[in-house]
Amino acid sequence: MKLNSKKELTPVVFGETSVKILKTRIGANILTFEQHWHDRLELHLIKSGCLHLCCNEQDVLVNAGELSIVSPTMLHSGKSGNEGYECYVIMFEVADLYNGTVSAKQYIEPIINGDIKFKYKTDNKEIITLANQIVEMQLNHKGYHPLETVGRLYRLLGLLCEHCIDNSNSSPPKFESFDNVINYINSNFTKAISSLSISKHFGYDESYFCRKFKKSTGITVTNYIKMQRLEHARSLLEKTDESVRHIAISCGFIDAAYFTNCFKSMYKLSPTKYRNNHHQKNKEPYQ
C-alpha cells in the first residue's frame, strides 16, 4: 500500500532517454528533501561528503564513491552531513523500460509493483562505473545516441537485480482495505491513539492488526504514528515560535524529553538546534 499523503506531486520532466540527471551541492546539516515517495527509481551518486538517507525506518549513511538506491514507492528523506555533500541524482521511470519480453515480466514488472526492492546503497565498482557513464552521456550529449543511454539503463537494472536485491526488504502482499486505517491515522495522530485504540476502532484483534499493518506498509503502526507526529512537529518548529514543550504535547507526545529524543533520532538535531538552523538560513530553498 502506498502512503498517499507523502506522495511527491511535482512531476519530473524526462527527455528522449527517459532519464534525468540533477547535479546538486548541499551545505552542512541541511534537510535536503522531506519524507516522501514516488514511482520512479532514484539514485544518488555521491561525489564528496555524505548523505544521511532515511528509508522507511532505517538510517543509511551514503559516503563519497557510493550510490544510494531509492526503490519505487519507498518512503524516504535525506539530510546532509557535517561537511555537506555533492552528488548527481539519477532519476528514471522503470515503467518506461517495460516491454513484453519474459525478462521484463520477471524483473521489471516486480520492480514497478514494489515486489522487488533494492538494498539502500552499493559500492559495487561495476555499478558505480556505469552510473558515472550514464551521467556523462546525459550531460554531454555530443557523440552519444539516445539509445545508448537507454541501453545502459537496462544494464544498470540488470546489475542492480544481480547484486542489490534486498530480499528482507521486498514488499509483502498489499492490503488495500488498510487505506482507511492510514487516512484515520493521518487525521488523528495528534490525539492519544495507539495500535490498541486503532485496532478496536476498526474491529481488529490488536496482534493481527499490527502484523497486517507492518506487512501492508513496511513499518510498524507505532513508528508510522511517530513519524507523522515528528513531521508535523518539524513543520511547527519552522513556522511558529511555540515552545518545544507546547509543540511536543500538541503533536501527541507524552512529554518534551521523549519528543526531543525522538526528534534527534529522526533528524540528527535537537528541536531547538533545528529551529535555530532553519531561522539562520532564512528559509533558503533547498538546491
- Domains with residue ranges and CATH for the chain: 4-169 (2.60.120.810), 176-280 (1.10.10.60)
Cα(119)–Cα(41) distance, integer angstroms: 12
Which residues neighbour 204 within 8 Å (Cβ) at sequence distance 6 or greater? 212
Residue 43 sits at φ, ψ, to 5 deg, of -125, 140
Cell for 162?
544481480
Packing angle, helices 256-267 and 221-239, rounded to 10: 90
Tell me the per-residue pLDDT of 14-32, one tens digit each, with 9 for 90 and over: 777 889 999 999 999 999 9
Tell me the per-residue pLDDT of 49-80, one tens digit each, with 9 for 90 and over: 999 999 877 899 999 999 999 998 888 999 99
Q: What does pTM read for this prediction? A: 0.66
Cell for 30?
541541511
Cell for 254?
507524552
Cell for 22?
540533477
Cell for 182?
492510514
pLDDT in tens, the chain (287 residues): 445 557 776 778 777 788 999 999 999 999 999 888 888 999 999 999 999 999 877 899 999 999 999 998 888 999 999 999 999 999 999 999 998 788 888 889 889 888 888 999 999 999 999 999 999 998 887 778 888 999 999 999 999 999 999 876 544 444 445 778 888 999 999 999 999 999 888 888 888 888 888 877 778 999 999 999 999 999 999 999 999 999 999 999 999 999 999 999 988 899 999 999 888 875 544 34
